[in-house]
Amino acid sequence: MSVHLLLGLQWGDEGKGKIVDYIAPQYEVVARFQGGPNAGHTLEFDGIKHVLHQIPSGIFRNDITNIIGNGVVLDPVVFKEEIEKLKDFKIDFSKNLFISKKTQLILPTHRLLDAASEAAKGKEKIGSTLKGIGPTYMDKTGRNGLRIGDILSAHFKEKYQLLVAKHKRLLQHYQFEYDLAALEPAFFEAIDFLKTFNLVESEYLINDALQAGKSILCEGAQGSLLDIDFGSYPFVTSSNTTAAGACTGLGIAPNRIEKVMGIFKAYCTRVGSGPFPTELFDDIGEQIRKEGNEFGATTGRPRRCGWLDLPALRYAVMLNGVTELFMMKADVLNSFEEIKVCTHYRLPNGEVTDQMPYCLIHEPIEPIYETLPGWQQSLDQVNSFEEIPAALSAYIQFIEEKVGVPIHLVSVGPDRTQTLHKTSVAASS
């Protein structure tokens, strides 16, 4: 009986999909607790690359129950497309995929509102993925939303029309052209498709599984620095991406959580607008983007790249109660002679701090770096922690000391097999 969390500690895209797929065989349940189609989780194995948006990353492992929790916002059209992409993999969704009836539904008008709001913001735009995330969570907290359970109601169409009428009134406030009639047939087709899946009270499913002694992995989406409360507000997503989100997004009590695995890249990336203290605007940033293939899995946008930011990482570790760290994409730094790591910030008044300031937007901060030697070799032949080159070991140790949490896993490529896991730990977890 245990609940483990796997959470992104930066601005998303840390490699959560790869790792959930890798560690999933240790669990009986994999559950998504927040976010929606704004997420793009990449898995690679047997020479094939898969990108999942709303379906949990345990879906390719046999005998695992995958749950889309009540904290998620689900777009039925994207869901149908995702399922159809998986049709060659002989997955029995009737046995291994369950969706909470309390999951909020993304309507076509939520997507239109997202686009209209972003267009109206002009240069101040959030850089949203335009998947309707913000407007759907607004309707949830405004107590207007439609939930998956509603699609089973004989009055669903009326409920839909009522909410759409409200959205149309809101859209009138924007100068925004749209053609809702062109979007609705695919939406209603997807709603009928969704009805054929297991729509359940997932809080009971999860707590019954716990009662039966089963182990549960909660898969986070986005990252801690995009959290609605603790991220670089307002340049954030609209859900709690931090550990507490797993409790509210699944109905899991905090005292059930045994382990919090925090995942971060050996450097930093961000997609969309908002502050990014260690961002690189030079050839080095370009080289990281190229070596790391840093383009969004959902939108294809180039990701902004920069050095590792330890004050931000420590902040995320503190907020989530991280018990072990997983470092991703070490291979991307293979060719660098020197690697910089931001250890502190200098504030506009000259003060040096290792804490996250309240505002990073109007009062720009200067990152203070320490420079470490690069390992300057390929990691293709490195198959265990013991074989890690000395300079990479020193980089790992430096981070562990500064953050105060051990690194148990180092990822050296996108494939499932390109993963170095401390064997003593892997065996016991």
- What lies within 8 Å, CB to CB, of 56 at 6+ separation is 20, 30, 31, 32, 66, 67, 68, 219
Using Cβ positions, the residue closest to ligand GDP within the complex turns out to be: 42
114 near ligand GDP, judged by CB under 6 A: no
388 near ligand GDP, judged by CB under 6 A: no
User: To which H or E segment does residue 288 belong?
Assistant: helix 283-291
Residue nearer to ligand GDP on the CB measure, 16 or 314: 16
Residue of 4, 21, 41, 227 marked catalytic: 41
In the list ligand IMO, Mg ion, ligand GDP, none, the entry touching 333 (Cβ below 5 to 8 angstroms by class) is none
64 near ligand GDP, judged by CB under 6 A: no
The question of whether 309 is a catalytic residue gets the answer no
Name the nearest CA neighbour of 237 among 271, 277, 260. 271
In the list Mg ion, ligand GDP, ligand IMO, none, the entry touching 343 (Cβ below 5 to 8 angstroms by class) is none
Given candidates 127, 413, 416, 426, which one binds ligand GDP under the rule CB under 6 A?
413
- What lies within 8 Å, CB to CB, of 107 at 6+ separation is 132, 136, 146, 160, 163, 164, 167, 187
Q: Rounded to the nearest 5°, which phi and psi values hold at 226?
A: -110, 10
| Residues 133 and 238 sit within 8 Å (Cβ to Cβ) | yes
Q: How far apart are CA 75 and CA 89, in angstroms?
A: 22
The question of whether 41 is a catalytic residue gets the answer yes
Residue nearer to Mg ion on the CB measure, 13 or 324: 13
The bridge status of strand 268-270 relative to strand 304-306 is antiparallel
User: Nearest approach, Cβ of 428 to ligand IMO (angstroms)?
Assistant: 28
Q: How far apart are CA 101 and CA 70, in angstroms?
A: 7
Which residues lie near Mg ion (CB under 5 A)?
Answer: 13, 40, 297
Residue nearer to ligand IMO on the CB measure, 237 or 411: 237
Peptide bond into 234 cis (omega under 30): yes
Name the nearest CA neighbour of 12 among 247, 231, 249. 231
User: Nearest approach, Cβ of 362 to ligand IMO (angstroms)?
Assistant: 18
Which residues lie near ligand IMO (CB under 6 A)?
Answer: 8, 11-13, 35, 38-41, 126-129, 131, 133-134, 221-223, 226, 237, 271-272, 297
- What lies within 8 Å, CB to CB, of 335 at 6+ separation is 287, 291, 374, 376
Q: How far apart are CA 73 and CA 239, in angstroms?
A: 10
- Return the range that interacts with ligand GDP (CB under 6 A); candidates 163-171, 189-197, 304-312, 407-415: 407-415
- Return the range that interacts with ligand GDP (CB under 6 A); candidates 91-99, 205-213, 241-249, 408-416: 408-416
The interface with ligand GDP within residues 280-299 (CB under 6 A) comprises: 292, 297
**Interacting residues toward ligand GDP by CB under 6 A:** 8, 12-18, 40-42, 44, 292, 297, 328-329, 331-332, 411-414
Active site residues: 13, 41
